[in-house]
A and B are shown apart, each in its own frame.
Chain A
Amino acid sequence: MASHNESIIREPLITGNDITYAKITNDVLSPVENMPNKAWWIGFTVASLGALLWVVAVSYTFWFGIGSWGLNKTVGWAWDITGFVWWVGIGHAGTLISAVLLLFRQNWRNSINRSAEAMTIFAVICAATYVVSHMGRPWMAVYTLPLPNQYGSVWVNFNSPLVWDVFAISTYFSVSLVFWYTGLLPDIAAIRDRATGLRRRIYSICSFGWTGSVKTWQRFETVSIILAGVATPLVLSVHTIVSMDFATSLEPGWHTTIFPPYFVAGAIFSGFAMVQTLLLVTRKVLGLENYITMFHIESMNKIILLTGSVVGVAYLTEFFIAYYSGGEYEQYTFLNRFIGPYWWAGCMMYGCNILMTQLMWFKRVRTNIAMAWVLSIIVNIGMWFERFVIIVTSLHRDYIPSSWAMFYPTWVDVSVFIGSIGVFFTLFLLFIRVLPSIAMAEVKLLVKGSSEQAKKKLIAEGHLDPEQVEFYKESLNKFDSVDIAEYENA
């Protein structure tokens, strides 16, 4: 029931004193219904220039071939697959927030799931661009699909993780898209009903004729929960399969059974970091401090700390197993991460991912916006280096010393990567302009039970354990969007 009172010791999910249903619509739709501000234009210009760089670099690759990258006979996979795994990993947090947290009834997901899932879709698009561009002859992409052809037909090899990956990534992308868009329908309808003229017509087409009748809502919730149920194992399978691209090889440093859980944890880790990077800026620029509160920020930081520590344990396990296995190639690979020519990449990987995230144990760090933002970027850098270390450092010195080589990226390698970040931010900035960045319908569900004003009313009514009220007031200290003075004499 909508009037259900939540326990006072739970921190509020919406802050502010005058939150009404109409105010939520106004606040969330203000960037959609008004001209963008200067910050948006600056961001969009920079991001578009990045996207342009991507177009240039990928066109160059297609024109001159993969030889324009820094790959060689020994290191045949490098920046492209590093970027691919990095982006796919980033995508995972969106599904985790929208699906797994829905199954666990974590209501704080309601205000961040929309943008996190948009991020998923854009990150997977960026990942897919690597798959296509590394083919060199992108029109050959159809040969990854089991289509009848004039050679027999010769089919794709379903024993290969690379084929599984084609299926996993395409399923992941399309299911995420369906999940995201279905959730968007009520909010697109809200834009439609406030708009006029051509805007109204466009949003009307996109809203599929949504009205919000009882039956539609009931079916909608069934669809959401089942989609969440199937998306949860899907998201785990995707990075599991990505890790099998490596784990099923015989390469020292790749051929380990710990890879699937290790990659999945790393994916969630980097994904939450990217969500944090985006949302800390979005909440400030769009003025959404009341909906994306310090509680959300701290919760995400806790997940970053947890998954970062899981990744840390995985790193330690890898080292131990390399030592314990007695395999000299395996042992050399792991030593080489520190004493080899790519020692600096290893230091970036272990330093950024393990050492820096341990700072999150301190509440002062977790609840400090500037620190959280810097740490989220550090995690993103660290996770990029993790993939670089796993891929390049393992490949460049494996079995035969005469084949050892170095990998040096060319300007095309670097530009494709920087360009893909540009593509990502261009898409994200367009998204916050044309679609509501917060799921309004879901946030409206929280107003009566989990908002600060509802809890304030409960306190004013009395009947509460004073100790619990004191606990609640103390928890409000960390919120930057709560005026704690209001509670002094309450």
Chain B
Amino acid sequence: MSSTKYILGLFDDPDNLMHGIDKLQKNSVPIYDVYTPMPIHGIEAKLGIKDSRLGYAAFMFGCLGGTVIFSLVYYFLVHDWPMNIGGKPHFAVPDFIPVTFEWTVLFTAFGMTFTFFYATHLFPGRAPRVMDLRATDDRFVIAIDAKGNTPHEDITNLLKEAGAVEIKHNDRKYVSYE
């Protein structure tokens, strides 16, 4: 029984990386995850990652923000303390538009971004779960769970054929812990 936990294929070119993903998938090797220093379009389709629903969240937060501030302003200026300004109507909707707009944007931006942080487990101080330190620099990394995926040599060869510049057999899942 080998002690390898994860096999990492390190590529120096995103096109080779895509090639590597195809090769592994053709040989029915499940891919744990892919780490890249920049967004590479097309990987998410190959790995079967569904479209983001953050847009819906953004829309809902926007509606909430607009409703909250409009209701508040209504309460302030019409219900709680109506002011007589030259006999003009208290419920002066055009004057409510600027702040309603601002809070729609405010809630959209904050609501969506915090949903994004929550859904992808990003928060200040979270221990980075990094498999290879160069994945944020110049390496495009395919990670394969070594458990159950044997023989490891075959996977190594597949990655090599696809153009991986380095293949690592890591005994630890994450290298970022001290």
Residues of A within 8 A of B47 (CB): 214
Find B119's partner among A156, A190, A219, A231 (CB 8 Å cutoff): A219
Shortest Cβ distance from A25 into B: residue: B137
Q: A3-B15, A441-B38, A445-B38 are in contact. Are A208 and B126 (CB under 8 A)?
A: yes
Shortest Cβ distance from B134 into A: residue: A193
Q: Verify B136–A186 contact, CB threshold 8 A.
A: yes
Q: Verify B98–A164 contact, CB threshold 8 A.
A: yes
Q: Verify B76–A158 contact, CB threshold 8 A.
A: yes
Interface centre among A20, A153, A161, A208 (most CB of B within 10 A): A208
**Bound-complex Cα distance A192 to B130 (A):** 11
Q: Verify B126–A167 contact, CB threshold 8 A.
A: no
What number of B residues sit within 8 Å (CB to CB) of A? 68
Q: A2-B14, A25-B137 are in contact. Are A222 and B54 (CB under 8 A)?
A: yes
Residues of A within 8 A of B119 (CB): 219
What number of A residues sit within 8 Å (CB to CB) of B? 68
Inter-chain CB contacts under 8 Å: number? 204
Q: Verify B124–A175 contact, CB threshold 8 A.
A: no
- The stretch among A233-241, A355-363, A398-406, A476-484 that forms the contact with chain B is A233-241
**A374 adjacent to chain B (CB < 8 Å):** no
Shortest Cβ distance from B77 into A: residue: A158
Q: Verify B123–A209 contact, CB threshold 8 A.
A: yes
Residues of B within 8 A of A204 (CB): 125, 127-128
Find A175's partner among B40, B52, B106 (CB 8 Å cutoff): B106
**Bound-complex Cα distance A442 to B38 (A):** 7
- A201-221 at interface with B (beta carbon < 8 Å): 204-221
Q: Verify A163–B80 contact, CB threshold 8 A.
A: no
**A135 adjacent to chain B (CB < 8 Å):** no
Residues of B within 8 A of A37 (CB): none
**A455 adjacent to chain B (CB < 8 Å):** no
**Bound-complex Cα distance A220 to B42 (A):** 15
Find A444's partner among B38, B110, B134 (CB 8 Å cutoff): B38
Q: Verify B73–A223 contact, CB threshold 8 A.
A: no
Q: Verify A223–B134 contact, CB threshold 8 A.
A: no
**A182 adjacent to chain B (CB < 8 Å):** yes
Residues of A within 8 A of B85 (CB): 159
Interface centre among B83, B98, B119, B125 (most CB of A within 10 A): B98
- The stretch among B28-36, B144-152, B154-162 that forms the contact with chain A is B28-36
Residues of A within 8 A of B95 (CB): 158-159
Shortest Cβ distance from A237 into B: residue: B101
Residues of B within 8 A of A159 (CB): 77, 85, 92, 95
Encode contact with A along B81-122: 1 for CB under 8 Å, 0 otherwise.
Answer: 101010000001001101101110110111011001101111
Q: Least Cβ distance of A74 to chain B in Å?
A: 25
Shortest Cβ distance from A443 into B: residue: B38
**B135 adjacent to chain A (CB < 8 Å):** yes
Q: Verify A444–B37 contact, CB threshold 8 A.
A: yes
Residues of B within 8 A of A144 (CB): none
**Which 9 A-B pairs give the minimum distances between C-beta atoms?**
A209-B126, A21-B138, A2-B14, A155-B76, A208-B122, A22-B138, A164-B98, A190-B136, A222-B52
* Residue ranges of A at the interface with B (Cβ–Cβ < 8 Å): 1-3, 20-22, 25, 146, 152-159, 161, 163-164, 167-168, 171, 174-175, 178-179, 182, 185-186, 189-190, 192-194, 204-223, 226-227, 230-231, 233-234, 237, 241, 440-442, 444-445, 448
A/B interface sample: 24 pairs, CB < 8 A: A2-B14, A20-B138, A146-B76, A158-B73, A159-B85, A159-B95, A164-B98, A167-B102, A175-B110, A192-B136, A193-B128, A193-B134, A208-B117, A212-B36, A212-B37, A213-B34, A214-B34, A214-B47, A215-B120, A217-B39, A218-B39, A218-B49, A219-B54, A226-B58
Apart from A21-B138, A223-B112, A230-B62, list 11 A-B contacts with CB within 8 A. A155-B77, A175-B105, A194-B137, A209-B121, A210-B122, A211-B129, A211-B130, A211-B131, A212-B36, A222-B52, A237-B105
